């Protein structure tokens, strides 16, 4: 029985379609109570993609958006225009057969340009860390 | 009315790093100050960001990757025993936020693989943004040899 590659591919397509649907809905309902439902669906679907297709280049882009949305519930603050931008970006990537590393990088930078903070985790480091010794 | 000249900013390590890793409020403050004006850093600053943060994340990735480490909690415990305060601090601040955001269980053996994937993706993203978010001055007045040493991440052969 022929196995995983084709099965995973179809499954990935379905998951990514679900991500797009939820992003579109989030764009439409941004700022309204219904947005919470679509945000929850979107984040769950993104994590499903992470679990099913962890090595797929698209997952890197989706995870960048996931982290930007989920940390401190920042999905509430993003606007309809930003969600539409994310939708357009992901839709264009999904339409491609192959996504190169350069395209992944470009997509993450586009998310940043759209205003999504893809490094949302606050870390406070000491300045002394800059000059740590080689010999320990 | 005269056009306001475009102001350019040269960031030192503490500002560049806070720009990437600060809290939301801190980042909003920087954005209010800099807007869309060009930001510059030197190779030396980039090297300092890598040495103070990125390298610790990569080291933690390898700790989590060890066969003898069963879950995220084990990796944190081992890391806490092996490393000095500064390295510990960087990891202990990021890891709970990152893995909690992804709803991972720190005691679950099954979540170890997910954690490795998430951490690898975060490391790649951090490296990308610290490399591309700022313009390079191409002038390193410190002439520090460390500043030009490249840091390559090969996810297909992480132990290589």
> ipTM of this predicted complex?
0.85
Contacts of B124 in chain A (CB under 8 A): 60
Nearest to A83 by CA among A37, A34, A19: A19
Q: Residue B44 in contact with residue B140, Cβ under 8 Å?
A: yes
- Residues in chain A, pLDDT under 70: 1-11, 126-136
Confidence class for position B152, pLDDT limits 50, 70, 90: low
A51 touches chain B (CB under 8 A): yes
Q: Of A119, A122, A132, which has the smallest distance from its Cβ to B86's Cβ?
A: A132
Strand order of the sheet with strand B39-41? B9-10, B39-41, B135-136
Contacts of B147 in chain A (CB under 8 A): none
Digit-coded pLDDT (tens) for B66-118: 999 999 999 999 988 877 677 778 888 899 999 999 999 999 999 999 999 99
Residue A1 has a pLDDT of 54
pTM score, whole prediction: 0.86
Contact criterion met (CB < 8 Å) for B86 and A127: no
Residue A56 has a pLDDT of 92
Residue A133 has a pLDDT of 44
Contacts of A67 in chain B (CB under 8 A): 98, 101, 122
Q: Which residue has the tokens 């001055």?
A: B137
Digit-coded pLDDT (tens) for B17-68: 989 999 888 888 998 888 888 899 988 888 888 888 998 899 899 999 999 9
| Count of helix runs (H) and strand runs (E) in chain A | 5, 0
Contacts of B84 in chain A (CB under 8 A): 136
With CA atoms as reference, the chain A residue closest to B155 would be A55
Residue B118 has a pLDDT of 96
**CB-based contacts of B33: which residues, under 8 Å, 6+ apart?**
none
């Amino acid at each position: 029985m022929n196995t995983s590659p084709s099965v995973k591919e179809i499954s990935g397509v379905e998951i990514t379609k679900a991500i797009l649907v939820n992003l579109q809905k989030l764009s439409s309902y941004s700022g309204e109570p219904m947005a919470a439902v679509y945000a929850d669906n979107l984040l769950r679907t993104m994590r499903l993609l992470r679990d099913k297709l962890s090595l797929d280049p698209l997952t890197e882009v989706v995870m960048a958006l996931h982290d930007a949305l989920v940390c401190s519930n920042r999905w509430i603050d993003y606007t309809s225009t930003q969600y539409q931008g994310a939708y357009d970006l992901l839709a264009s990537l999904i339409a491609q057969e192959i996504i190169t590393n350069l395209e992944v990088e470009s997509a993450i930078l586009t998310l940043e340009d759209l205003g999504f903070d893809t490094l949302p985790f606050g870390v406070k480091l000491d300045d002394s860390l800059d000059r740590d010794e080689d010999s320990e | 009315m005269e056009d306001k000249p475009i102001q350019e900013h040269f960031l030192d390590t503490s500002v560049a790093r806070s720009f990437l890793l600060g809290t939301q409020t801190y980042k909003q403050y920087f954005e209010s100050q800099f807007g869309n004006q060009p930001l510059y850093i030197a190779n030396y600053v980039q090297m300092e960001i890598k040495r103070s943060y990125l390298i610790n994340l990569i080291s933690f990735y390898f700790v989590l990757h060890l066969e003898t480490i069963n879950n995220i909690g084990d990796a944190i415990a081992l890391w806490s025993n092996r490393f000095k305060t500064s390295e510990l601090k960087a990891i202990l601040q990021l890891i709970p936020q990152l893995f909690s955001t992804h709803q991972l269980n720190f005691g679950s053996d099954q979540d170890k693989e997910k954690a490795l994937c998430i951490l690898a993706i975060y490391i790649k993203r951090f490296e990308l943004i610290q490399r591309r978010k700022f313009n390079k001055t191409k002038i390193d007045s410190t002439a520090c040899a460390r500043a030009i040493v490249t840091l390559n991440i090969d996810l297909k052969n992480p132990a290589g």
